């Protein structure tokens, strides 16, 4: 379905609040954009703001959604682990394992290994520092068959984007391992311990069901995937989200999407989009926070399916990227 369909048709219960956070290991570069459902059922989208304190983030989002309502929150860090690794580590369900990470027998789980000798299924993140490190070290120490088993199914390349980075690798500008560490250790695991009304998609159920439950539903997102969903030019090989001018070139597409889907933009967000989110260091973060928010709304409006696969193993162990159509994977394993 065209991302600019004139009459959005929701197949999901519209949550009172939709929020998307562009994650970073640097707290100063974490931005969150929100959309609030209005009395007539449409949404007003607000300019990105700093995520700030993680200790009460979910409490603040629940309060913003309102009593008895649902907040739908997306984070662009991985949720779930590769099936081959799970088998090696004895993990049957991600939701059962997650509260154990960083504790007891898993106390070193979040400590990136300094050398290949320190890598184990209970300490899978690597390396702590550059120098003589290879992904093959992870393959060998985690007892995997090859480097392909470092990836989840949803990490594979699609028609719209390249392969995502393996979650346990913590080196380089494009690594996601450290984002997973901070997201799981500092936000998701504590949130699950504190709030029984916090649910993770797709582990706790299908999105059609989760958005009917009061509380918070969390999903994994990937702005790089959404670029294609919204036909943004920033996805082209000669474009970069680090470039303010390139971000500005997509302003008409973002504004057109909002207009076609009857999403009202706050004056500040309208200005941000037209200006390419400014020339500050956080411009790329605020851009991705907004793109991710529009991608989540695109799913709510029914222009993209949520995408969770039929495989219960994938839903219970690996997780999924919101809005990813498995049929677009170039080398699917399911």
Question: What is the mean pLDDT of each successive set of 10 residues along the chain, which is 334 residues long?
Answer: 42 94 91 97 97 95 97 97 97 97 97 96 95 93 96 90 88 88 97 96 96 97 95 93 96 98 98 96 96 98 93 96 92 54
Helices and strands (H and E) in the chain: how many: 13, 8
141-160: buried (b, 16+ CB within 10 Å) or exposed (e) per residue? bbebeeeebbbbbbbbebeb
* Burial grade of 44 (CB within 10 A; 0-12, 13-18, 19 or more): middle
For the chain, how many residues are written?
334
Answer yes or no: are the C-beta atoms of 333 and 145 closer than 8 Å.
no
pTM equals: 0.94
Radius of gyration of the chain (CA): 19
CA 120-124-130 angle, to 5 degrees, is 105
Q: What are phi and psi of 103, to 5 degrees?
A: -135, 155
Whole-number pLDDT of residue 9: 47
pLDDT (0 to 100) of residue 332: 52
pLDDT for position 160:
79
Round to whole Å and give the CA distance between 30 and 114.
27
pLDDT score for 78: 96
CB-CB neighbours of 171 under 10 Å: 18
pLDDT at res. 309 = 87
Residue-level pLDDT at 293: 98
Distance CA 45, CA 298 (A): 13
Q: Is residue 328 within 8 Å of 159, Cβ to Cβ?
A: yes
* Burial track 218-231 (b if 16+ CB lie within 10 A, e otherwise): bbbbbbbbbbbbbe
User: E strands, the chain, where?
Assistant: 17-22, 31-37, 43-45, 49-50, 70-75, 198-200, 215-220, 263-265
Give CA 295 to chain center in angstroms. Answer: 11
State how far the Cα of 166 lies from the Cα of 147, in Å rounded to an integer.
9
Question: And the tokens for 190?
Answer: 């504590």
Peptide bond into 127 cis (omega under 30): yes
Distance, C-alpha 160 to centroid of its chain:
16
């Amino acid at each position: 379905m065209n991302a600019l369909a004139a009459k959005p048709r929701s197949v999901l219960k519209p949550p009172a609040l939709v929020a998307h956070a562009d994650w970073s290991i640097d707290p100063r570069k974490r931005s969150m954009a929100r959309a609030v459902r209005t009395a007539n059922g449409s949404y007003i989208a607000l300019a990105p703001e700093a995520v700030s304190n993680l200790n009460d983030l979910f409490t603040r989002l629940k309060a913003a959604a309102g009593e008895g309502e649902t907040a739908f929150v997306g984070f662009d860090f991985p949720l779930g682990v590769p099936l081959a690794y799970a088998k090696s580590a004895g993990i049957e369900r991600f939701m059962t394992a997650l509260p154990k990470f960083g504790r007891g027998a898993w106390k070193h789980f979040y400590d990136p290994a300094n050398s290949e000798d320190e890598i184990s299924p209970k300490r899978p993140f690597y390396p702590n520092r550059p120098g003589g490190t290879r992904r093959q070290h992870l393959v060998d120490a985690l007892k995997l068959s090859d480097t392909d088993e470092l990836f989840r199914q949803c990490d594979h390349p699609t028609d719209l984007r390249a392969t995502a980075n393996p979650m346990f690798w913590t080196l380089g500008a494009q690594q996601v391992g450290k984002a997973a560490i901070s997201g799981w250790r500092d936000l998701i695991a504590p949130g699950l311990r504190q709030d029984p009304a916090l649910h993770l998609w797709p582990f706790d159920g299908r999105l059609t069901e989760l958005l009917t439950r009061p509380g918070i539903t969390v999903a994994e997102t990937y702005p790089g995937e959404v670029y294609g969903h919204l036909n943004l030019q920033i996805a082209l090989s000669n474009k970069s989200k680090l470039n303010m001018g390139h971000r500005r070139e997509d302003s008409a597409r973002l504004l057109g999407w909002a207009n076609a889907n009857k999403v009202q933009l706050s004056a500040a967000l309208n200005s941000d989009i037209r200006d390419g989110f400014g020339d500050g260091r956080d411009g790329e973060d605020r851009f991705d926070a907004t793109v991710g928010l529009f991608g989540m709304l695109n799913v709510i409006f029914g222009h993209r399916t949520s995408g969770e696969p039929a495989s219960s193993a994938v839903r219970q162990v690996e997780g999924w990227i919101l809005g990813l159509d498995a049929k677009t994977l170039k080398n699917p394993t399911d």
